[in-house]
Amino acid sequence: MACKSCSSGSCGSTSASGEVKGCQSNGGCGSGGCNKMNVFDWLSDLDVPSFQRFHIVEVKFKGGRKEYFRNVDQLELHTGDAVMVDSSSGTQLGTVSLQGELVRLQLLKKNIKDDDKVKNIFRLATEKDIEKHEQAMARDLPTMYRGRQIISDLKLNMKLSDVEFQSDGAKAIFYYSSEDRVDFRELIKLLATEFKIRVEMKQISLRQEAGRLGGIGVCGRELCCSTWLSDFKNVTTSAARYQNLSLNPVKLSGQCGRLKCCLNYELETYMDALKSIPTIEGRLKTKRGEAILQKTDIFKRMMWFGIVGEEAIWIPVSCDRVAEIVDLNKKGIIPESFEDLNPDAPAVEKPTVSELNSDLERMDKKYGGVKSGNRNNRNNRGNRDGGNRGPRPEGQDRGPRPDRGPRPEGQNRGPRPEGENRPPRPPRPEGENRPPRPPRPEGENRGPRPEGQNRGPRPEGENRPPRPPRPEGENRPPRPPRPEGQVRPEGVTPAADGGTATPKPFKKKKKFKPRPPRDGAAPTPEA
């Protein structure tokens, strides 16, 4: 949390004995309010005699307001010391923020003359003065809230942003912002009667209001107007145009509702860089089509164009090439494209992909190829078993495989590696029939089919062969009797021999289709 003297900016300063002034966090407040509008005194290490020191001192008050006072009594002052000064409205407590030769430079910068208008420093503040000052500061917020209620009751078009009491509590300054002229005579009477003080109304701009209130910007840092920026310059939308920023008022506006002051920081750098960027007044003409400027990168000196009808495709062109095309268009010359500026130059044939990769193919054949004599070498067996040879060059054939001869009896090829498929079987020559299967040896059975393995559906048009007739005099074996207590299923009728017969569902008989004749075989007679 911030200390009580954050508004005066006394943190971070040390006395002659090395004692840290301000809060007790050794000059490092977490809120950063103690460093508000501070100036680093880089001449503080120089030991200058007291009679040669500059006699004017910079004193800071609440909200970062700074004024200059004359040290007529030659007091030994240090940064962060509380002093009592003579202000236009009475005695005020402030904090020394800068002294020495840097104050002389600040007076020159702000064009302040060393004359009788500069007030004097009375004395160093005592503990009683500091206590009375803290009590006066504690009245700031309640007075501001009550003043806002009175303003809303009077229906005045103004915004009360801050209230600052003097150290003696006899006078208060009310800071407000308004776009129109406000008649606050009745308001002053009510405020003076309510708080028993002298009232001073002071109108400030929106940027000054944001500087007094403070806050965090979109950049993640404290607002420039509340930390170091004291004079506000005019900011226009042309600064955003020169920097190629989108004219979005939400992104370009700060917390004060006006254009961000940081838009002017890099404007001069962009103005210098834009001098070398060619000006595009219309469309660039090429034989490919008219080009429209889409984007410009000022520091990379690149410009992106889109051909009419193909605006989605942006073509990057350097600024030097764009300047050449602009000069050619002024002369009535239309270049071939952004790359080829000479329309009368003969067309250059682009090499094909095979020509570009011919040197790579020669290197592969020289160093990466496999000799034909080592194809059956035992060292290359790993490539055939599991490794991949890689793609064969386009147009190169494997060639006929040499005859290996019959495989020795009892030698198996071994299991095929996982993921490797058998090559497709070549088609059978036309007119050649499959050789007949040899007859099964007598007495040899096929064996039971493995459990869960089905024969599969019968091919369409193929009928089951007729069952052989039962030998004469042989009867069907009797069906075993039904167990006791078992009920006959519904819809089942008894058979003629005492058993049960289950009706089968009616199936439509398929129409017989003759099998087409094989090549070279006699045609089957129609049914």
Supply the DSSP string of 190-249, one letter for each residue.
Answer: HHHHHH-SEEEEEE--HHHHHHHH--B-TTSSB-HHHHT--SPPP--HHHHHHTT----H
Q: How confident is the model at residue 30 (pLDDT cuts 50, 70, 90)?
A: very low
Asked if residue 91 lies in contact with residue 3, where contact means CB atoms within 8 angstroms, the answer is no
For the chain, give every residue range classified as CATH 3.30.300.20. Answer: 132-204
Pick the CATH number of 132-204 from 3.20.20.80, 3.30.300.20, 3.40.190.10, 3.40.50.720: 3.30.300.20
Eight-class DSSP state of 319: H
Whether the pLDDT of residue 10 is over 60: the answer is no
Q: Per mean pLDDT, which of 197-201, 210-214, 481-485 is the most reliable?
A: 197-201
pLDDT of residue 384: 47
What is the percent of the chain with per-residue pLDDT over 70, rounded to a whole number? 70
| Host H or E run for residue 381 | helix 381-385
- Report whether pLDDT(194) > 70: yes
Helix (H) or strand (E) holding 124: strand 119-124
pLDDT over 60 (residue 22): no
The mean per-residue pLDDT over the stretch 309-334 comes to: 87
Token duo for residue 6? 């954050």
Q: Which of 62-66, 97-101, 428-432 has the lowest mean pLDDT?
A: 428-432
Model pLDDT, residue 505:
58
Residue type, 264: N
Per-residue pLDDT at 90: 76
At 149 the pLDDT is 95
Q: Is 0.75 surpassed by the pTM of this model?
A: no
Select from 151, 155, 206 the least CA-distant residue to 177: 206
Q: Residues 6 or more apart from 520 whose CB is under 8 A from it?
A: 431, 433
Ranked by mean pLDDT, the top range of 305-309, 342-346, 459-463, 496-500 is 305-309
Q: Once rounded to an integer, what is the mean pLDDT over residues 199-223?
A: 90
How would residue 467 be classed by pLDDT, with cut points 50, 70 and 90?
A: confident
End-to-end, the C-alpha distance of the chain in Å comes to 107
**pLDDT tens-digit profile of 137-182?**
999 999 999 999 999 999 999 999 999 998 888 899 999 999 888 8
DSSP 8-class letter at 59: E
Highest mean pLDDT among 324-338, 351-365, 409-423, 471-485: 324-338
Confidence of residue 29 (pLDDT cuts 50, 70, 90): very low
Residues 6+ apart with CB under 8 A from 341: 321, 324, 325, 328, 335
* Alpha carbon separation from 58 to 113, 281, 369 (Å, rounded): 14, 54, 86
pLDDT of residue 124: 92
Q: Are strands 171-177 and 198-203 parallel, antiparallel or unpaired?
A: parallel
Token digits for 378?
């035992």
Reported as a pLDDT band with limits 50, 70 and 90, residue 267 is: very high
Please give the share of the chain, as a percent, with pLDDT higher than 90.
Answer: 23
pLDDT of residue 468: 79
Q: 66-124: per-residue pLDDT in tens? A: 889 998 888 888 888 999 998 877 788 999 988 888 888 888 888 888 888 888 999 99
Residue 521's pLDDT is 54
Cα separation, 158 vs 141, whole angstroms: 18
Band of the pLDDT at 9, cuts 50, 70, 90?
very low
Asked if the model's pLDDT at residue 483 lies above 80, the reply is no
